[in-house]
Amino acid sequence: MFVVLRPQCPSEEERQVLHAAEVAQLGPKLTTIHGRRIIALRGEESQTDAIPFEAFPGVERVVRLEAPYHLAAREFHEHDTVVEVEGTRIGGGGLTLIAGPCAVEDGDQLMAAARAVKEAGANLLRGGAYKPRTSPYDFRGLGLEGLKLLAEVGAEVGLPVVTEAMDTRQIDDVVRYASVIQIGTRNMQNFPLLEAAGRTGHPILLKRGRASTVTEWLCAAEYVLNTGNERVILCERGLVAFDTAVRNVLDLSVVPLAKRLSHLPVLVDPSHGTGRSELVPAMARAAVAAGADGVLLEVHPQPERALSDARQALRPAEFAALAPDLAAIAEIVQGRPALI
């Protein structure tokens, strides 16, 4: 349950509510979300309803939710959340294109990809400096060197950078060099990492776990929101497949579902969602038609030489041909203005 305090609630009235909740052993936690002071309470419904919080002078309303996630719930925040990243608005209308190589391999490769996606209309540059790989012998990224390259190239071409943090020890460096922290599918339920990332105040791009339910995904977002960080972006990237014809099963039904259940912006990653570059354009178009606020696409200047996920990377010319289609679908089917 959440107690929403009145705007400009006097500190004494705020303390009254907190004291009553503490006496009832409801574990009150005070936070600020969307500019409002909120007190989160723990306990069964019979415990929380035993105190008439609505009667306190400092209380505007009480929000009771059945879902295990609260701050992420649509009932908690009626309007769509918009996450702004250096002038780009993600969510709430428009279309965001995030593109770049799976992994940063060297400066020339990254610069070629960045210039190509920028020219074609990308809003943000993606690239992995730390790469979670199934085999420890596969290329696992350049680490700090890769972060510095991302920052340099992003600044030169004029694109904010999205990159993954795999460990709490990497958070400070990622924040220093990137504009958005990505939490990958393998770490969706790495709760210390979610909380550490959330406490930075940086935008968080949260990918759905490869075998996670929607509820688990939104609960993971709740860990970030519960730190007071409202800048959370959901990203569907496919569920584990039993059919080896595709890498994953891209669940596009989750786009309208997540937007119905939650106020957070929703992106789709059809590159990981299919694992096959020839399928990516069709699924990217379908994602935008389903209502996604944007797509995350892998683009490599020479996919045949890529050190990571070569099979699913688009060539720059393919991305350039796809981008106008996505803008047109967003404008015509969803009634949203194109950003490119």
Query: Are the C-beta atoms of residues 242 and 276 closer than 8 Å to each other?
Result: no
What are the extents of the domains in the chain? 2-63, 83-332
Rounded-to-integer distance, Cα 4 and Cα 11, Å: 14
Indicate the SS3 state at residue 288.
helix
User: Which residues have C-beta within 8 Å of that of residue 152, sequence separation ≥ 6?
Assistant: 107
What's the topology of domain 83-332?
TIM Barrel (3.20.20)
Rounded-to-integer distance, Cα 315 and Cα 228, Å: 39
Rounded-to-integer distance, Cα 211 and Cα 286, Å: 22
The type of residue at 93 is G
CA angle 101, 106, 112 (to 5 degrees): 55
Q: Identical fold at 2-63 and 83-332?
A: no
Rounded-to-integer distance, Cα 181 and Cα 184, Å: 10
Among candidate residues 322, 289, 291, the one with its CA nearest the CA of residue 91: 291
Query: Are the C-beta atoms of residues 159 and 125 closer than 8 Å to each other?
Result: yes
Sequential pLDDT tens for the chain (340 residues): 889 999 989 999 999 999 999 998 888 888 887 788 889 887 776 677 778 999 999 999 888 877 889 889 998 888 999 999 999 999 988 899 999 999 999 999 999 999 999 999 999 999 999 999 889 989 999 999 999 999 999 999 999 999 999 999 999 999 999 999 999 999 999 999 999 999 999 999 999 999 999 999 999 999 999 999 999 999 999 999 888 899 999 999 999 999 999 999 999 999 999 999 999 999 999 999 999 999 999 999 999 999 999 999 999 999 999 999 999 999 987 665 555 4
Pick 2-63's CATH classification: 1.10.3470, 3.30.70, 3.30.110, 1.10.287: 3.30.70
Rounded-to-integer distance, Cα 247 and Cα 317, Å: 23
The tokens for 184 are: 């990958």
Indicate the SS3 state at residue 99.
strand
